[in-house]
């Protein structure tokens, strides 16, 4: 099969739509993914990014359908991560006259992954322009969005930003522009992508957004997902909220349980928060409703939990005690969130124990490490089955989390 589609005359998407990927280095790609590569045919021919190594033949077929491979002048590498550079060695072999164009850090990263000893490189610095004839590419380094060598490039003649990972979404679809898809679904996937991939680098992302804000844009062509054409404003409105960690009126209750004692506590915390939200809704009919999620950690993917956590203002984390510690899935959740460096959340540790202690205490300790402000009654514990008094305390804790979430939301408005 060969399958390409045109963005503009002489500019085509030649990458690969992967309907089958379900695990992208732990990211749950339930909707599949795409690896976008763009071929620009001008006086010079440039391929911007490649695809994952297993799809190199498909990329080569797509490029060869449009130009002779020996007429490719530039293989532009905006990011060395292997979902974009994996097919680069094959393209270097297949395009004997091509020079690899990238920044110095990218060359270093590529040399760490591949044998580049016989590759021809042209190193470009930030703000440097590469002329392709009638059109050109201006490179802007965007370090740590999300790797040190990450780069975007802008084509002023066509007002196209080739944004690599930024503004991407993990979604496989035959519809290739934003206005051919359901916008809320796209924004949800873009948010999930941001939360799971870019979130640790919010400060750097905000700097990039300042630069992007100065550009005239008709297309944003990311390396994953659909191309932004009709909803550029919408995605550019959302990104600063995500990058700054803007709070939504949202509470999460994330827990793992052995024999349902911690689950009973979680349900009561959830109910307390929902009840508080119902009162808020009556008092504030013109405000958004408080959103409360009950998430069993072993029945919810890390990807989904992170996507919801990005803008949550308060989170309760619960675990039963296992071997004088927290349960392994909750350890994974906390480790994952720690790495993603979300803005602080008002928090609560809770959970049950039998003859030993340790589950809720371990969560509480981690929350302190994360510098999350915790409710006074944290860690909230139940010995074996929670009694009525403990369940009342859980309900009150849910209401307190909801109140804190609401205040954080109002503070950010």
Number of residues lying near ligand FEO (CB under 6 A): 8
165 belongs to the binding site for ligand FEO (CB under 6 A): yes
**Catalytic site residue 364?**
no
**Catalytic site residue 146?**
yes
Q: Within positions 354 to 413, which residues make up the interface with ligand FEO, using CB under 6 A?
A: none
Which one of the listed residues 84, 170, 224, 364 is annotated catalytic? 224
Q: Within positions 110 to 149, which residues make up the interface with ligand FEO, using CB under 6 A?
A: 146
Number of Cβ atoms within 10 Å of the Cβ of 3: 14
- The residue among 201 and 337 lying less far from ligand FEO, judged by its C-beta, is 201
- The residue among 91 and 326 lying less far from ligand FEO, judged by its C-beta, is 91
Stretch that binds ligand FEO, among 80-88, 257-265, 300-308, 349-357 (CB under 6 A): 80-88
What would the DSSP string read from start to end of 247-284? PPSEEEEEEE-SSSHHHHHHHHHHHHHHHHHHHHHHH-
Which one of the listed residues 25, 118, 216, 376 is annotated catalytic? 25
Which one of the listed residues 38, 84, 146, 293 is annotated catalytic? 146
> Shortest approach of ligand FEO to residue 301 CB, angstroms?
19
Q: Where are the beta strands (DSSP E) in 165-257?
A: 219-222, 250-256
Burial letters 171-187, b for 16+ CB under 10 A, else e: bbbeebbbeebeeeebb
**Catalytic site residue 115?**
no
- Measured CA to CA in angstroms, residue 405 lies from 239, 250, 292, 394, 412 at distances of 21, 6, 10, 16, 11
Number of Cβ atoms within 10 Å of the Cβ of 293: 18
User: Is the backbone peptide bond immediately before 73 cis, with ω within 30 degrees of 0?
Assistant: no
**Catalytic site residue 81?**
yes
Rounded distance, CA 330 to CA 19, Å?
30
**CA atoms within 13 Å, Cβ hemisphere of 158:** 25
> Shortest approach of ligand FEO to residue 100 CB, angstroms?
17
- The residue among 18 and 268 lying less far from ligand FEO, judged by its C-beta, is 18
> Shortest approach of ligand FEO to residue 222 CB, angstroms?
9
> Is residue 197 within 8 Å of 189, Cβ to Cβ?
no
> Shortest approach of ligand FEO to residue 56 CB, angstroms?
16
Given candidates 41, 52, 60, 84, which one binds ligand FEO under the rule CB under 6 A? 84
**Catalytic site residue 83?**
yes
Q: Within positions 223 to 252, which residues make up the interface with ligand FEO, using CB under 6 A?
A: 223-224
> Shortest approach of ligand FEO to residue 49 CB, angstroms?
9
- Measured CA to CA in angstroms, residue 58 lies from 11, 14, 15, 165 at distances of 18, 9, 8, 21
Sheet arrangement for strand 291-296: 291-296, 250-256, 314-319, 346-353, 380-383
> Shortest approach of ligand FEO to residue 29 CB, angstroms?
11
**Catalytic site residue 25?**
yes
Which one of the listed residues 83, 149, 178, 291 is annotated catalytic? 83
Stretch that binds ligand FEO, among 63-71, 79-87, 184-192, 378-386 (CB under 6 A): 79-87
Phi, psi of 294 (to 5 degrees): -105, 120
**Catalytic site residue 231?**
no
> Is residue 262 within 8 Å of 75, Cβ to Cβ?
no
> Shortest approach of ligand FEO to residue 83 CB, angstroms?
4
> Is residue 352 within 8 Å of 261, Cβ to Cβ?
yes
Rounded distance, CA 331 to CA 235, Å?
33
Which one of the listed residues 79, 84, 170, 364 is annotated catalytic? 79
- The residue among 56 and 248 lying less far from ligand FEO, judged by its C-beta, is 56
Phi, psi of 332 (to 5 degrees): -65, -40
- Measured CA to CA in angstroms, residue 329 lies from 6, 25, 102, 333, 342 at distances of 45, 17, 40, 6, 19
> Shortest approach of ligand FEO to residue 110 CB, angstroms?
14
- The residue among 158 and 165 lying less far from ligand FEO, judged by its C-beta, is 165
Closest residue to ligand FEO, based on beta-carbon distance: 81
Catalytic residues: 25, 79, 81, 83, 146, 165, 193, 224
Q: Which residues bind ligand FEO (CB under 6 A)?
A: 79, 81, 83-84, 146, 165, 223-224
């Amino acid at each position: 099969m060969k399958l390409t589609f045109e963005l503009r005359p002489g500019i085509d998407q030649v990458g690969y739509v992967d309907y089958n990927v379900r695990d992208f280095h732990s990211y749950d790609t339930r909707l599949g993914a795409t690896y976008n590569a763009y071929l620009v045919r001008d006086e010079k021919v440039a391929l911007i990014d490649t695809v994952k190594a297993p799809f190199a033949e498909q990329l080569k077929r797509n490029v060869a359908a449009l130009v002779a491979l020996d007429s490719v002048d530039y293989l532009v590498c905006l990011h060395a991560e292997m979902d974009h550079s994996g097919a680069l060695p094959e393209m270097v072999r297949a395009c004997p006259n091509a020079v690899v164009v990238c920044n110095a850090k990218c060359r270093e990263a590529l040399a760490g992954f591949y044998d580049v000893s016989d590759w021809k490189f042209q190193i470009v610095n930030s703000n440097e322009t590469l002329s392709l004839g009638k059109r050109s590419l201006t490179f802007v380094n965007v370090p740590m969005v999300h790797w040190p060598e990450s780069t975007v490039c802008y084509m002023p003649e066509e007002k196209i930003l080739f944004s690599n990972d930024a503004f991407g979404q993990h979604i496989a679809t035959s519809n290739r522009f934003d206005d051919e898809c359901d916008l809320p679904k796209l924004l949800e996937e873009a948010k999930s992508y941001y939360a799971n991939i870019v979130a640790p680098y919010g400060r750097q992302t905000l700097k990039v957004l300042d630069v992007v804000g100065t550009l005239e844009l008709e297309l944003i062509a990311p390396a994953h997902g659909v191309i932004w054409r009709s909803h550029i404003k919408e995605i550019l409105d959302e990104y600063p909220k995500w990058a700054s960690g803007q709070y939504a009126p949202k509470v999460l209750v994330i827990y793992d349980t052995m024999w349902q004692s911690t689950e009973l506590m979680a349900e009561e915390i959830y109910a307390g928060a929902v009840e508080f939200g119902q009162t808020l809704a009556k008092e504030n009919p013109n405000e958004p409703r408080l959103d409360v999620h009950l998430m069993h950690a072993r029945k919810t993917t890390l990807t989904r939990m992170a996507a919801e956590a990005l803008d949550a203002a308060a989170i309760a984390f619960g675990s039963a005690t296992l071997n004088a510690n927290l349960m392994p899935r909750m350890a994974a959740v906390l480790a994952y969130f720690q790495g993603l460096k979300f803005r602080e959340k008002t928090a609560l540790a809770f959970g049950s124990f039998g003859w030993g202690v340790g589950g809720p205490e371990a969560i509480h300790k981690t929350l302190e490490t994360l510098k999350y402000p915790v409710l006074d009654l944290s860690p909230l514990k139940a010995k074996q089955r929670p009694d009525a008094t403990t369940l009342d305390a859980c309900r009150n804790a849910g209401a307190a989390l909801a109140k804190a979430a609401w205040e954080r939301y109002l503070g950010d408005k």
